[in-house]
Amino acid sequence: MNSCNLVTSNQLKSARRQHSPVSRRPLGSAAFAVAAAVALAVSCTKKQDGPPVPTGSESLGTNAASSGVARPEFAKLAGKWERPDGGYVLEIKSVDASGTMQAAYFNPNPINVSRAAAFYKDGAPKVIVELRDVNYPGCTYDLTYDPQSDQLYGQYFQASMQQTFDVTFGRMK
């Protein structure tokens, strides 16, 4: 775990008042102090090794029910999908107009799905699923739908091992 002593802007202001009047301090050194504090804060953050979390129109929704008409291009994602390398099952129950999914995951018992979403990137439907449960502390699937093979393929980030694996899910009949 990274540990850094971060100084808040209020602490910086307080320290400036104690050492010299603000009016005597040039504007350049105040800007430098703020920039240094920001650089320190950025350098103390831990890089996530898992797949990127979508932003903006690719926002990752919660696994909560939501209203809206499903986009026709997301309808083909609904169904039960199985990884052939262990019997893991991803069930996509529904996808709403914003891409928020109702999803479940089994290994073979249910594993909590904390977030699931569908979106388009590079002309293909994408699926992101985050698991939050015992032995699944933020594990994620970053998948792409291939309509020709009717498969989901992509990567699985195993958070506790900090490893990423290539995976494929085939539609269960």
Calculate the CA 157 to chain-centre distance: 11
Give the class (CATH, top level) of 56-171.
mainly beta
Q: What is the DSSP string of 117-151?
A: EEEEETTEEEEEEEEEETTEEEEEEEEEEETTTTE
- pLDDT at residue 70, as a whole number: 45
Domain positions in the chain are 9-43, 56-171
Residue with tokens 């290994």: 107
What are the average pLDDT values for consecutive 10-residue runs of the chain, which has 173 residues?
Answer: 40 41 42 39 37 40 42 86 95 92 96 96 94 96 96 97 97 91
Which residues lie closer than 8 Å to 16 by C-beta, 6 or more apart? 22, 25, 30
- pLDDT at residue 71, as a whole number: 62
Q: Could you tell me the CA-to-CA distances from 112 to 39, 41, 79, 124, 149 in Å, in that order?
A: 36, 32, 18, 26, 28
pTM for the model: 0.61
